Each structure stands twice: as C-alpha cells, then as structure tokens.
Structure 1
C-alpha cells in the first residue's frame, strides 16, 4: 500500500481491501497521522476493521470495544492503574526480570553444548516472551514456565544430548520439549487473530479455521481452563490483600466494584477472561518479534553492539566491577540513553504492528479531501517518512493544529539504515548525550487516547531482556541466508530466520 502512495506521489490514496467492501484510505504523512490520532481523536475511532479481528478470540477485551459500548468502561476499569509507573516497578518489573534471567540460563546451557555453532533462537525468544507476559499477568510459577521446563528437559539427559546438526546453516538443533498446553493454546489464538487481520473475509476465515484446525478448537478450552485455575488461586489470595500480578489487581477491583453496588462479584465473567487473554495477546508477540529483530540488527552491527555493552557496563559499574549481572532494581532505575536508542531504532525499522487502523466517526476532511463517516483509514507503521524518504506535502494541505514543535523529517540519505545514534542529542546543560524520543518520525505504538495500552510494559520487557542478554553474551555476526533481514507477516512482522551464535561475555 505504501508503494501505491509512492507511485502516485501522494501521501493519501484510496484502496479496496476486498470484494463487497467500501473503499479505504492509506495515509503515509507522519505529521498528519500524528494530528489525526492525537489532536483529532474525537473524529476517529478504532472502527469495525480493527475490532473484527478480536471478535472470535477476545470479544470483550477493552481494546476491541468502542467507548460507546457499556462493557468498555467496566472492563477497562479492571486494569486501571496496572500501567502506572508504581505498579509496573513494584509488581510487573520483578516478575519480568525473573523470567528474563531464565532465558539467560537456558542460553548459557545451549552455548556450552553448541560448540561454536549457531542455533535457532526463535522458539526460545517467543517462550521467554510468553513467560514474561504471564509472569506480569498471573505471576506464573516454574511449573508453568516454558523456559524453566525446557531447561529442565535438556538437563535431564544423563549422557550426551541427542543433538542434530544442520550443515546447510552450520547450526545445531537442540531437542525441544513440546509446548505446555496453555502456551500452545495462547499462541494459537494469537496466530488466529493474525489470520483474521490479514483476511478480506475475517468471519469466513474464522469458521474455516475452526473446521480444519483441531488445535484451534482445543485452544479455547486449554486457555479457559488454565485461566480459571489462576483466577481461583487469585481469589484465595484475596484475604491477605497482597498483589503479585495483574490478575490479583483485577480480582480485587472486581470485588470492590461489586461491593459498591451491593452485589456478589462475578470473578468468572467473560470480561475478566477476555481482559486476561487480551493482556497476553497484546504483550506477547509484539515484544517477542522486537527482541528477535534487535538481536538480528545488533549481530549485523557489531559497533552498535559493542557500544551498547560498553554503555551498560558504564551505567552499571558496580555490577560490572563485582562480576555479576545487574539486579532488577538497578535495571529498573537505570536511564541509559543508548539502550533507549537501540530499542527505538529497532521499533522504527521493524514496528510491531504493520499499521494503525482508524475509522471516521463523523464526516470530516483529510488533506483537503472530504471523507465520509465510516471510512477506514490505514496508517502504515513503515514506509514514507519512517524508514523511507517522505513524500513531499504542501503545508496548506495539512491539518491546522496547535502543533508547537513538529518532529523533523529523517535525512533521506540514511533513513533506510539502522542507526541508533539518530535518537541521541547533546544535553547542553550537562554536556552529555541524552535520548530524544521526538528526534524524528516513529509510530510503532500510536498516539493519543487510543495508543497502545501496554506501551510502558513493552518498554520494561525490552529494556530488561536486552540488558541481560547483551550483558551476558556477544552475538556473533552470521552470514548467508540465516542473516537475512526479510520477514513475513502474522499479527506482527516476524523474521524468516532468527539464529544466534553466542560467545559468553566475562567481566
């Protein structure tokens, strides 16, 4: 779709998304996108094309509901305060840190047995992302941790590991424990959302998949059974009033809301199940794919990787001098500009969502064109102005808004290159570089009241795992097919290959 805009030489183009559907618009001008989503939010809602993809998996997840829906406020209230800095630091961050260290332990084991060969890291990263988001959501225990169980499985072999070697990629293949039922179910449901996003007929796609896919049919039961057990555990913790997870917080808010109305709390209503599943879906694949792309980009950019590791050691000097890795408190309290820049540049080059989707709530105007109510607006997260040169736009066509400081365009000479330094600028007061999140266009999490609900949680996951991985390992540059930066679309853009070759880093 961005190619279509480029060929037309226009940042706004009309497209048809499928038979029997109304025409939609593709908008690729970053300044106008920021205006529409942040300053004209009352004119643009999420729309049916967005909510349709959630209809058969988490229909009562608040992200899938319009504000006018009476369920929206009640369900969103369950998660109130779970994205505040205090809750994230005291509840979510310690859980994420613990599960991140599990991946480090697994990869130290694999490094020891890989004998200098690469191995496919894709499943490990997605399992670690599952563990992290489930740790934040329900304080998942070791028994239900994919990474902990995988490490125990590998350690259970008495003699030599039954390794296989792939000569094509000069890699080693480790035996893999079958996925735990709840993780298999959650990942299949996540993939099913992606199937509907990519389909011109999401309703038909849903029933077709149900008909042919036994695992999808089972996944609904696996996930509901697992979540029901976790809800029951959380109910049993009500009396001590301790909060160890998002679910504990939800259960306490459900009781409080019921008490205020003089009714019995319904801890097993659909809204609670859907908010819990939706929390996982929103924070799992997006974080996992961003980690995979970070590893690939930094393996190909060794100077950037070395600079990141040097910055980590500088900001965590006490841990480095003691020959240990940073603690959860040290990571949570660290403000490392180059770490922020690495993450932001990865998100710019490989955004987790292919596009923002909005629908006009009223008759309106975009860039001089009258747009009727009910029109779908697609705003790609990559393309012109983001990782390609922007399409020139006459200033008088843009929304007359209260922008006081517009983000500058990226230089067309290097906009296509991975360069974390573009996010740093000199702090003249202190004479050092600082991270500038407004250095240029980037829209991976959206803007305004409908921006990504889990944005803060995602950054904590990314900062924690990137810190621990690059503190403990050097990611060796690969060559050939497995070094490719090509990907394929699911719910997110997933790399075709995610192999890593590790060297353990010592203090």
Structure 2
C-alpha cells in the first residue's frame, strides 16, 4: 500500500471513529486508574496525578531504608496533620494514616462495629497461615478459633506450665552467654542468632514441650564449654566471632517464613504477593509444608499423651490444653473431635511465629536500651536483688515461680518503656466496614486505616486536636483512662514515667500514657500475657547475671527493618559478670 493509499484509509470515517474511540478509551482508562482522594484529608498532590500514586515515592524510599513505617509517618509531618491519605494501594482505595494515640484507642477499643479486619496482619498471615484467626473478620468462626486457645492466657497455664518452660530455656541462654563471655575476653559479640534461637525454643517448649531434647542453644553450650580459647582479634574494639550450631530444618523454616513477610509488608499488592508466595514460590511452599508436617507430628504426640491419661491435671504443654478444648466442644456439638483440623494447625503456628518474633525483637531492643542507659540498668538490677533476696543469698538464679509471681513495679515500668521505644509493633490497622467519621472527615467503607505507633502521641509531642473533632464514643468515656505524655520529655527513655506515688510506695501504672504495642480491644494480641511473662523472665535472668556494658561504636547502631515486627538490624553485647 502506497503512502497516499494509507492516508486515504486513515481519512475514512470509520478509521477516524476507531482512532478517536481508542484514544478516548485510553484517556478514560487513565482517568479511572488515577488515585481518588478522599475529600478533605491532606495528600500529596503530585501523587494524585500519577496512576502509581505514592508507590514511586515508597519504592525510592525503600532503596535506602527498610523501615516503611517511617515513610508513612513522614506524610503526617509533611502536612502537619494527624490524619493524611497516601496512594500506596495500587489502583485501590487510599490508605488513611492516623498519628494520634487517642484516636487509635477509640477505633480499636470502642468503634469495633465501624472498623474490623482485614488489616496488615491479616495480609501477612494470609500468605503463610490463611486459616489463622487473624485473617478472619469478627464472626462466629473467629470466636470459635479464639475459644480454642483461650486456656493459654489463664494464670494456671502461665504459672504452672509456661513459666517453667520459659525459665529452663532462657537459663540456657544465660549459660551460653557465660561461655561466650569467658571466651571473648572482654570483646563484644553478636547475639541476634542466639536470641532468635532461644526465643523460638522457649515458645516451642510452651506449645509442645522440649524435655530431654537437644536444642540449638544446648548444642552450642556443649561445643563452647569444651574450648579453652578461640581465635580473637588483637583489638578489644573488634568483635569476637563464634561458630553457630546446626539449626533444625523446622526452626529454619519458621525463621525464613517470618523473614518472608517483609515481601508482603512492602508490596503494593499484599494479597497478590501472599498468593504468589503460598501457591507459586517453590521455596515458600516447601517451608509451609515442613512446618505443617512438624505441627501434625506434635499434635499426634499430644493425642497419645491424652489417651494415656484423661486427667485434666496432666497438662504437658499448650497443645494439650487445645486438644482438650476441642474434645469438650466436639462433645457439646455431638461430633467427633478434629484434632488435625486446619484451624488447629493454624492457631499453633500463629502462636509459634508471633510468640517467637515479638519476644526476640523486643529483647534485642532491650539489650540495646539497657546497655545505653547504665543507670537504669543498675537500678533495675538493685530492684531485682531486693525482690529476690533469697536467691541472692543462695547465689542462684531466681526461680520460675519467683519471677512469675513477683510484683516489681520498676521491672514492669522498664518493660513498658522498652516496648514504647522499640516500636516492636509496627502499627495498628483496620478496615472501615461502613462510612465512618474520623477527626471530622468521612472515611468511605472499605478504606484501610493505619494508626501509627512511632510518632506524635507516643514518641513525640501529640497534635493539638479540638474535642469537637472527636467521636461520640470518645466523649462518652471522657477520652479513656490514658493521659498524654509530657511533651517536654516524651522522647526520653525513662521507665519512671510509668510509676506513680513516691519513695518506696511507687506503683506501676499501665495507663500512665499511650503505648499500644499489642494493639487493643477484642482484636488485640491474644498472647499478650504470655509475651509479658517471656519478657519478664528473660530480662530478669539477663540483668541478674550480667552487666551489659556499652559496645564499641561500630556495633552500637540503631538501624532497623520492618517485617512482622520492627527489628534491629544487628545487636551486639559486651558482658561482665555481676
């Protein structure tokens, strides 16, 4: 066809109509794909002019940082507003970001009919444990699954079963670090792997039991105790490096599954990413199958224990409680118990991964904070020595029972302040189940709402928000029991802020100020009491046994990364025997 013929074809009415339709459709599609801002809520205007919204900005930010929550909070600061919106949900509704602790408390504790799952935690568990109760909205299935694990927060289980298992495994950590302290000769060493291994061993022991079994920590103790010395750098400012023990395949799978959640956290399409990981990525599929097989094996062992003894007093671990609960429910419903249901397996895995990750992350930050604030560490140790005077006089560690039943206000204050500063919980999120009013703005149904735990109201001075913008539920409770932190020292690491009274009569006040590391309301972290017992046990044993000295500057960094929790990239300790 000649050029003239080609131009003649293009000039034909049908061709003109087709081309016009094509360009018009492309333009309308482009307009349809552009972000749709929620009226009145501040946003980045340049992002609203791109079909990729704020995703380009996020991608550029993550090239130099692994902390997505800092990027989210930066929008509140940029617009100087406690409520903003960002377009990071590709072709979807905007995210609404709230940086106000009172509004966060109001939403998760009192406005549960307006805000529910799914949330970011749902997206993460959807990729590796889609049947976990976290993925469910608040419905009958969610309630049934929560009942399955309700015995695990009872004082009877925590004090008689969990406390001893935690104490045994964290005592192993003390023994391991004693060997490393001896061999390092005053040098710092990296403890991140030690903490991860022992925390997983501890929660595994609570769930399944570990009596008489070899662990990674015990294997390392045996290996190091036989050594008189190791190769050390000539400078005391260089780290001592130790060979690690072999990590069991099941533990390795759990560690890697937890690490894989970073892909979901940073994805503009988290559910699609989760589907890819679970059904297509061969590595993730192998790890999921391995953890499923191991959990199935542990449930089978618990079944056999239950057949041997029907006595409810014979509780070996958490899984025993859960099987008995399933049996009781099945009898009431006139059906056979299903001990190997997908829900049983998912709940056990959820306890395993969340219990391990939360404790290990918070402990790593605790080691950093206590080494950096030696006067606080010294005061905590003095309080422990006073409270456990018999253990001190007998030159032994405080027992599991002594720690679990103790009331040490300064210890509670230190744990709470560590949680506040560590930002272990990245944020809290919910989805609006109806059009809802937040701080004077109508947030449409289906919008994901993020409540930040790392900025104003928690670690920075709170925004001044008129009460007229608050919800009726806020006013009905006079804003709740929690007060604002003093803006003059809100950034300071100071456990004293959690204590009220004077002299020796000071008591711990959990409502002293905002801190929501475990969420809140009926959808808050179910394992909160177990997590506190873990932290109380391991911190007491470490501070009792060692002085945490400042490490050389190159090992004292505060760089972090966001996965299931907000983790330090590295953690080193330099120990001296108390």
* TM-score normalized by the length of structure 2: 0.82
Q: Which digits, 9 at most, give the CA deviation of each residue in 1:201-246, with x for residues without a partner?
A: 2244346657997643331232122212211110111131311211
Matched, 1:420 2:495: yes
- Bigger drift between 388-397 and 250-259 goes to 250-259
Secondary structure of residue in 2 paired with 1:356: strand
Q: What's the CA shift for 1:31? A: 1.2
Closer, same or farther in 2 for the Cα pair 1:210/1:46, shift >3 Å? closer
Does 2:437 align with 1:365?
A: yes
SS at match of 1:421: helix
- Per the TM alignment, residue 72 of structure 1 is displaced from its structure 2 partner at its CA by 2.1
CA distance in 2, matches of 1:269, 1:418: 45
**Greater CA deviation, 214-223 or 454-463?**
214-223
Decide which of 269, 274, 278 is 2:341's aligned counterpart.
269
Residues 219 and 150 (structure 1), Cα distance of their counterparts in 2 relative to 1, 3 Å cut: farther
Quote the offset at 1:408 in angstroms: 2.5
- The residue number in structure 2 matching 1:402 is 476
Structure 2 residue runs without a partner (length 5+) = 1-71
Deviations 1:447-499 (A, max 9, x none): 21111111111100000000000000001112312112221222211112200
Equivalent residue, structure 1, for 2:25: none
Q: Partner residue of 1:53? A: 124
Are the structure 2 counterparts of residues 168 and 26 from structure 1 closer, same or farther at C-alpha, using a change threshold of 3 Å? farther
Most deviating of 45-54 and 200-209: 200-209
Inter-CA distance 115–215: structure 2 relative to 1 (3 Å threshold): farther
Q: 2:519 aligns with which of 443, 446, 454?
A: 446
Q: Where do 5+ consecutive residues of structure 1 fail to align?
A: none
Change (3 A) 1:229 1:501: same
How far apart are residue 335 of structure 1 and its match? 0.7
Provide Cα deviations, 1:366-420, integer angstroms capped at 9, x if missing partner: 1111122111110011111111111211121112332245422222222112111
Once the two structures are superposed, the pairs formed by residues 102-251 of structure 1 within 5 Å of their partners are: 102-143=172-213, 145-155=215-225, 160=228, 163=231, 165=233, 170-206=238-274, 215-239=283-307, 240=309, 241=311, 242-251=314-323
CA RMSD of aligned residues (A): 2.1
Aligned to 1:475: 548
Match of 2:399 in 1: 327
Quote the Cα distance in structure 2 between the aligned partners of 1:133 and 1:166: 39
More divergent stretch after superposition (324-333 vs 51-60): 51-60
Q: Is the 8 A contact 1:82 1:88 kept in 2?
A: yes
Q: 36, 44, 50: which one pairs with 2:107? A: 36
Structure 2 equivalent of residue 79 of structure 1: 149
Q: Secondary structure at the match of 1:56?
A: helix
Report the alpha carbon displacement of residue 500 of structure 1 after superposing the two structures with TM. Answer: 0.4
1:287/1:385 Cα in 2 relative to 1: closer, same or farther (>3 Å)?
A: same
Q: For the structure 1 residues 346 and 362, does the alpha-carbon distance in structure 2 shift closer, same or farther, using more than 3 Å as the test? A: same
Tell whether the 8 Å contact from 1:169 to 1:482 is kept in structure 2 after alignment.
no
Structure showing greater Rg: 2
The separation in 1 between residues aligned to 2:524 and 2:399, in whole angstroms, is 31
Residue 22 of structure 1 aligns to a residue whose secondary structure is coil
1:66 Cα shift? 1.2
Could you say what secondary structure the match of 1:81 adopts? Answer: helix
Given that residues 362 and 374 in structure 1 are in contact (C-alpha distance below 8 angstroms), is that contact kept between their aligned partners in structure 2?
yes
Task: Report Cα offsets for 1:13-41 as digits up to 9, x if no partner.
Answer: 11112321211211111111111111112
Three-state SS of the structure 2 residue aligned to 1:484 is: coil
TM-score computed with the length of structure 1 as normaliser? 0.94
Judge conservation of contact 2:117–2:138 (CA < 8 Å) in 1: no
User: For 1:318, which of 384, 390, 393 is the aligned residue?
Assistant: 390
Aligned partner of residue 55 in structure 1, secondary structure? helix
Deviations 1:421-453 (A, max 9, x none): 1111116xx961111111111111112111111
Q: Distance in 1 between matches of 2:434 and 2:89?
A: 23
SS of the counterpart of 1:488?
strand
Shift of 1:163: 4.2
Q: Distance in 2 between matches of 1:502 and 1:431?
A: 30
The worse-fitting range, judged by mean Cα deviation, of 491-500 and 210-219 is 210-219
Deviations 1:339-384 (A, max 9, x none): 1111111111112221101111122211111122111110011111
Q: What is the count of residue pairs matched by the alignment?
A: 500
CA contact (8 A) 2:184 2:232 kept: no
